[in-house]
Amino acid sequence: MSGQEQDYIQKAFDSNWIAPLGPNVDAFEKEIAKYVGASGAVGVSSGTAAIHLALLLLDVKKGDRIFCSSLTFVASANPILYQGAEPVFIDSEPETWNMSPPALRRALEDADRQNNLPKAVIIVNLYGQVAKMKELLELCDEYEVPVIEDAAESLGSSYFGKRSGNFGKYSIFSFNGNKIITTSGGGMLVSNHEDDLKKARFFATQAKDPALHYQHSQMGYNYRLSNILAGMGRAQVEVLNQRVSQRRKVFSYYQQKLGGLSGIEFMPELKNTFSNRWLSVLTVDPEVISIPQIINELEKENIEARPVWKPLHLQPLFEGKHFYSHGEEGMSVSEKLFNNGICLPSGSNLTQYDQDKVISCVKRCLLTVSAVNR
């Protein structure tokens, strides 16, 4: 916390704006929209809700197809299932770990031949690194397919000088407890299409028709952000750039201390992009050591670490769904990253003492395995 959250929360209590909606929500929406350079935003209960609203705005229905990054958390794709639509998963590429332009091109070419283009493409900015938006947007424009930018993890990042969260027809953020700034639970739908944002507010507020009595002609959702939680968000926005700086400092220190070790490579940062380094992520050479070995050793020291996201095309929930790999011969970058990638502790308040403890444990683990192999 920044220390200022209680001031905004107290204002909500003093003014009796306790229920969802209120001055904090209005201001938080404007502050986020201004930060990313978009026309407007809608505060909602989660990033998942924001994706769902984007699909509703695009009139996604049962039987429609949605292309989606595979290397991401399940929340990126669950709303596709909410609408009864069919997800098609697109592999990563090695320079950003995000959606592969060659794989997307093949998927779009196939869909065009089948006269079954997707209703949208959901592009995820993984771990704070913005995807290759120029190439991806050009492909989507060529086939006139709208883009939903899942920027849940990349608030504060940029691509060729443009802020993340302003590339898709609709973009979304998450303010879950583990994100770079938090409202405890919450999200935001961002767009330059003001009329669509009005529709999103309508859907997110139980689709109540403009009538004196309670009248509903369409199905709606209880998705709006609480005025109290939005107060937390306003205080967090004030320190967003500081949080980005702290995360990048954590990443840099890991890279400095571990980057020279045999078999370790850190998540790259594409030229002309700026990553918020939401998580410090690296890969290890499986011939040197395995990810479970490192995680188990860290756990013995009460240090939590996680593997990279398991690709969605490998999840039981999506068994049998179509997947386009980065390489035409079936080479899957996302599977390789999942098998060899690890997320280290990366919190904005991580002390150097604690970070040194993580680094020592990783080094010790590598030395132990190396000695055994010799």
What is the mean pLDDT, run by run of 10 residues, along the chain of 374 residues? 88 84 93 97 97 98 98 98 98 98 98 97 98 98 98 98 97 95 95 97 93 92 94 95 97 95 94 97 93 94 96 97 89 95 95 96 83 52
Which of 237, 268, 300 is the endpoint of a domain?
237
First vs last C-alpha separation in the chain: 47
**What is the distance between the alpha carbons of residues 12 and 18, in angstroms, rounded to a whole number?**
6
Which of 204, 237, 270 is the endpoint of a domain?
237
Residues 115 and 210 placed together within one structural domain of the fold: yes
Residues 116 and 157 placed together within one structural domain of the fold: yes
Residues 226 and 254 placed together within one structural domain of the fold: no
**What is the distance between the alpha carbons of residues 37 and 162, in angstroms, rounded to a whole number?**
8
How confident is the model at residue 252, as a pLDDT? 97
Structure-block tokens of residue 233:
């968000």
Residues 279 and 366 placed together within one structural domain of the fold: yes
Say which CATH number the domain at 363 has: 3.90.1150.10
Residues 216 and 322 placed together within one structural domain of the fold: no
Quick check: 194 and 39 in contact, CB under 8 A?
yes
Q: Which domain, by its residues, includes 279? A: 241-373
Number of domains comprising the chain: 2
**What is the distance between the alpha carbons of residues 44 and 174, in angstroms, rounded to a whole number?**
9
Quick check: 305 and 362 in contact, CB under 8 A?
no
Structure-block tokens of residue 303:
């240090």
How confident is the model at residue 369, as a pLDDT? 65
What Rg value do the Cα atoms of the chain yield, rounded?
21
Residues 162 and 276 placed together within one structural domain of the fold: no
Say which CATH number the domain at 169 has: 3.40.640.10
How confident is the model at residue 373, as a pLDDT? 56
For 60-81, give the DSSP string: --TT-EEEEESSS-GGGTHHHH
pTM above 0.85, yes or no: yes
Phi, psi values for residue 158, rounded to 5°: -150, 160
**What is the distance between the alpha carbons of residues 208 and 222, in angstroms, rounded to a whole number?**
11
Which of 136, 81, 175, 125 minimizes the C-alpha distance to 275? 125
Residues 292 and 266 placed together within one structural domain of the fold: yes
Residues 250 and 230 placed together within one structural domain of the fold: no
Residues 43 and 191 placed together within one structural domain of the fold: yes
How confident is the model at residue 372, as a pLDDT? 53
Which of 214, 237, 260 is the endpoint of a domain?
237
Residues 228 and 246 placed together within one structural domain of the fold: no
Which of 31, 308, 276 minimizes the C-alpha distance to 154? 276
Residues 358 and 253 placed together within one structural domain of the fold: yes
How confident is the model at residue 19, as a pLDDT? 73
Residues 165 and 248 placed together within one structural domain of the fold: no
How confident is the model at residue 335, as a pLDDT? 97
How confident is the model at residue 191, as a pLDDT? 98
